[in-house]
């Protein structure tokens, strides 16, 4: 009898904990509304994603996604507090409730998806090529045709040479232990191109159009999404709606302006009629 009672109490405790967890998860949005602001984890040192402008304001594409959420919740894009965090704190800060959501150029992987819930994607990153506008080669096709005569600088990594050779099989690959040195090699003509994040290449061209050009080819795609705590399914659903309507619905003009500001291009205008998600 005592053993049966112990099992029954244990099951009751588990059920109670389950209900408590479910209530907590379902109340995330209500907690944010009661607080009067949403807490968004992000970085501060990686343009065009998140960085400080000349006035010391935190800006960037990740930052704008936080403003989109604040507007969706409060009809006021300013009701957001950004929690500056390192890259290795992106998941822990979500799991420990230090932030409501992390938006920090976070690559979606199956391993990470076991720890957090990912929102719908808001960017597709990849490797691109940054070239000097007055350089010997003008684009990807020129570099590929040059074969082993072309030199590409890249951030040092065990996979760096293999990665470059996926796009430029015969190019010479020079690896550098910092991003700054990688770009210095390009600027000093020791490299004909720098293999870097496509978003970074677009950002450099946007900032210095007379100095740089983008190669017109990207590879090694990876998905960027924001992350929320496991179990916050109601909140996740809300965020997905807010992002979807920003990228393809009623809030598209504001989203399109942000995308053009940080990447120098206009996203495709959503078609009227049959929903694009079902095409």
SS3 of 182-245: HHHHHHCCCCCEEEEEHHHHHHHHHHCCCCEEECCCCEEEEEECCEEECCCHHHHHHHHHHHHH
The residue ranges of every structural domain in the chain are 22-122+225-265, 126-222
- Residue 165 confidence (pLDDT) above 80: yes
Q: How far apart are CA 241 and CA 246, in angstroms?
A: 8
Q: How far is CA 91 from CA 52, 98, 222, 236, 255, in A?
A: 23, 10, 18, 15, 26
- Top-confidence residue, 6 or 243: 243
Q: What integer pLDDT is reported at residue 27 of this predicted model?
A: 87
Query: What are 30-66's pLDDT values in tens digits?
Result: 999 999 999 999 999 999 999 999 999 999 999 999 9
The owner of tokens 């109670």 is 16
Q: How far is CA 4 from CA 12, 15, 51, in A?
A: 12, 17, 59
* Token reading at 46: 């990686």
Domains 22-122+225-265 and 126-222 share a fold: yes
Instruction: Give the pLDDT mean for 13-30.
Output: 54
**DSSP secondary structure string for all residues of 77-95:** TT-EEEEE--GGGHHHHHH
Q: Which CATH number fits domain 22-122+225-265: 3.40.190.10, 3.40.1350.10, 3.20.20.70, 2.60.40.10?
A: 3.40.190.10
Instruction: Give the pLDDT mean for 215-229.
Output: 97
Q: How far apart are CA 78 and CA 74, in angstroms?
A: 9
Predicted model pTM: 0.86
Q: How far apart are CA 45 and CA 264, in angstroms?
A: 20
Q: How far apart are CA 28 and CA 39, in angstroms?
A: 11
Share of the chain above pLDDT 70, in %: 91
Lowest mean pLDDT among 8-12, 85-89, 150-154: 8-12
- Residue 16 confidence (pLDDT) above 80: no
The owner of tokens 């990849």 is 126
Query: What are 104-141's pLDDT values in tens digits?
Result: 999 999 999 999 999 999 999 999 999 999 999 999 99
Instruction: Give the pLDDT mean for 66-77.
Output: 98
Q: What integer pLDDT is reported at residue 1 of this predicted model?
A: 45
- Compute the mean pLDDT over every residue in the chain, rounded to the nearest whole number: 91
Q: What integer pLDDT is reported at residue 26 of this predicted model?
A: 52
126-222 is classed CATH 3.40.50.880 = no
The 3-state DSSP composition of the chain as helix, strand, coil percent (nearest 5) reads 45, 20, 35
């Amino acid at each position: 009898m005592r053993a049966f009672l112990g099992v029954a109490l244990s099951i009751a405790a588990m059920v109670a904990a389950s209900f408590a967890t479910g209530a907590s998860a379902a109340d995330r949005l209500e907690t944010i509304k009661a607080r009067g602001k949403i807490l968004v984890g992000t970085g501060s040192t990686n343009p065009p994603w998140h960085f400080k402008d000349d006035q010391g304001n935190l800006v960037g594409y990740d930052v704008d996604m936080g403003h989109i959420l604040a507007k969706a919740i409060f009809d006021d894009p300013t009701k957001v507090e950004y929690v500056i965090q390192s890259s290795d704190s992106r998941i822990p800060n979500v799991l420990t409730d230090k932030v409501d959501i992390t938006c920090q150029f976070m690559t979606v992987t199956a391993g990470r998806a076991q720890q957090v819930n990912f929102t719908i994607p808001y960017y597709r990153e990849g490797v691109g090529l940054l070239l000097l506008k007055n350089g010997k080669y003008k684009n990807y096709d020129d570099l590929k045709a040059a074969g082993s005569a072309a030199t590409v600088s890249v951030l040092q990594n065990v996979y760096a040479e293999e990665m470059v050779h996926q796009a430029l099989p015969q190019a010479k690959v020079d690896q550098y232990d910092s991003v700054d040195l990688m770009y210095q090699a390009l600027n000093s003509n020791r490299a004909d191109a720098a293999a870097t994040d496509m978003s970074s290449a677009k950002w450099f061209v946007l900032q210095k159009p007379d100095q740089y050009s983008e190669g017109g080819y990207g590879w090694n795609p990876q998905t960027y999404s924001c992350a929320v705590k496991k179990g916050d399914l109601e909140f996740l659903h809300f965020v997905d709606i807010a992002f979807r309507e920003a990228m393809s619905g009623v809030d598209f003009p504001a989203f399109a302006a942000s995308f053009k500001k940080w990447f120098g291009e206009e996203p495709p205008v959503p078609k009227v009629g049959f929903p694009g998600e079902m095409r």
